[in-house]
Amino acid sequence: MTDMYAMQDPTTQFPRPPFPPQQQDGPGDIHKMDPAPDHGETSYVGFGRLPGRRALITGADSGIGRAVAIAYAREGADVALSYLPEEQTQAEEVAELVRAEGRKAILLPGDLQQEQYNIDIVDKTVAELGGLDILVINAGAMPTVDSIDDFETATLDEVLKVNIYPLFWMTKAASPHLKPGSAIIATSSIQGFDPSPSLAEYAVSKAGIANWVRATAQQLIERGIRVNGVAPGPIWTPLQPAFVPTEKIESFGEQTPIGRAGQPVELAPAYVFLASQESSYVLGEVIAVTGGMTLT
Ligand code: NAD
Ligand code: MG
């Protein structure tokens, strides 16, 4: 793998569909994905853009969160990793990669649907890393429901408890610790702007995240804290084979102007930019990393 700064054609830089048909049970395992996703393990190059920062990242074992954790460590940050207990092995791999950079990693397994867990992970991060400067609220659940006839209250409850409530729970718990210059970054989605028919519950939550970013950014800038979001397009992570029917996996990413799925490592620079002081005048923004699909 060449480093991410080698000039090349982005349309062929990473695998293009068709992908082999595949399915997994949630929350999914990166090691069962074919082709293997790229989280920057060998490709992300840091330039010390987050010196001495302390970051808490949810969904940090796999996919986008894993890529962000690796990138933050290479940019000079210590990292607290939140993930589901069944993802322990993958989270330990991320912790090893962070420690290989000479940075601290702490492991915080648990269920974000529990309010107390959201508070506890903030408190443990502050206690063990000596503070908190960057909060990446990234974990997500994405059930597909093809018809309103199959709508279930429990599905919407779960989507909102995983995707929306932690924005409020974690930010409330974190804000007393966040000094001016701190950053909060939430993961929205192209689905929050241009939804697919079978993702109504998810799309509602992702539109909500974008609007939470816009509202909360205006509140927290008074304390010198910037709040922004990232809206990924189709990204090759375990979320897809865990939630999307196998026939849709084969053509995954085909609908984008670039003609392929994104890799988790391709998201990391946006999260680094929004966390670092170089984005000092950017707030209330949701950056599209979508292979050319437009946020409407
Ligand atoms: P992923 O499966 O690697 O990450 C999702 C993570 O969410 C899991 O690893 C898990 O740790 C965490 N999670 C789920 N339910 C949880 C719970 N109850 N408690 C604690 N943690 C929980 O997939 P990903 O694609 O990297 O997802 C990261 C974010 O990106 C999600 O918010 C997702 O909606 C968003 N996103 C993904 C895509 C895509 O195509 N992959 C596109 C747009 C947005
Ligand atoms: Mg995972």
Domain ranges of the chain: 35-289
The tokens for 288 are: 């599209």
SS3 249: helix
Q: 152-174: b or e for each residue (b if 16 or more CB lie within 10 Å)? A: eeebbeebbbbbbebbebbbebb
184-208 tens-digit pLDDT? 999 999 999 999 999 999 999 999 9
Question: Average pLDDT in the 80-87 region?
Answer: 98
Cα separation, 258 vs 239, whole angstroms: 21
Cα separation, 159 vs 178, whole angstroms: 27
CB 113 within 8 A of CB 141: no
Q: Is the pLDDT of residue 1 over 70?
A: no
The per-residue pLDDT for 2 is: 61
CA distances (Å), 145 to each of 153, 165, 292, in order? 12, 21, 26
Q: How confident is the model at residue 4 (pLDDT cuts 50, 70, 90)?
A: confident
Does the predicted TM-score (pTM) go above 0.85? yes
Give 108's contacts (C-beta < 8 A, 6+ positions apart). Answer: 56, 80, 81, 82, 83, 120, 121, 124, 125
Question: Average pLDDT in the 228-241 region?
Answer: 96
The residue whose CA is least distant from atom 6 of ligand 1 is 59
Mutation pick for ligand 1 pocket among 64, 89, 212 (CB with most ligand atoms within 8 Å):
64
CA of 177 to the centre of ligand 1 (A): 25
CA of 222 to the centre of ligand 1 (A): 30
Question: Which ligand 1 atom sits closest to the C-alpha of 87?
Answer: 11
SS3 108: strand
The residue whose CA is least distant from atom 9 of ligand 1 is 59
Question: Average pLDDT in the 146-154 region?
Answer: 98
Active site residues: 202
Q: Has domain 35-289 been given CATH number 3.40.50.720?
A: yes
